[in-house]
Amino acid sequence: MKTVDETTLENLLQLSRLSPESTEMATLKKQVDEIVGYFEILSKYDDLENPYDAYPSTDSENLRDDTVVAGLEIPDVKQITDKFMDGYFQVPKVLGEGA
């Protein structure tokens, strides 16, 4: 197990704005050594996989071609549904009153 030397411990005290008088140095060194030991335990379970591999990726060469195609004409849309009127589709109301 790695231990923290005196110089590192003094630097940690200075960075954390703690004074050596506030606690016994031996107790503090023991606590810091325990914390370092915890990191050694955690490093055994280090996963070297990229966390972004969990998300689907898209390759630009697999995307569709950027070509213009003809859309539906109004008469064709009117044949698909009877809920099309004046260029709009009639849909159920989803907002409450007053919207």
pLDDT value, residue 17: 81
pLDDT value, residue 6: 83
Q: Look up the pTM and report it.
A: 0.41
pLDDT value, residue 92: 84
Name 32's Cβ contacts closer than 8 Å, sequence gap at least 6: 4, 9, 12
Strands (E), 1-87: 84-85
DSSP character string of 13-45: HHHTT--GGGS-HHHHHHHHHHHHHHHHHHHTT
**Using CA atoms, how far apart are residues 55 and 77, in angstroms rounded to an integer?**
37
pLDDT value, residue 22: 66
Nearest alpha carbon to residue 89 among 17, 53, 42, 80:
80
Tokens 């023991």, located at residue: 30
pLDDT value, residue 60: 64
pLDDT in tens, 54-99: 677 667 666 777 888 888 888 888 888 888 888 888 888 887 665 5
pLDDT in tens, 8-44: 888 888 888 877 776 688 888 888 889 888 888 887 7
In this structure, what token pair is assigned to residue 90? 């009639």
In the 8-state DSSP scheme, what is residue 85? Answer: E
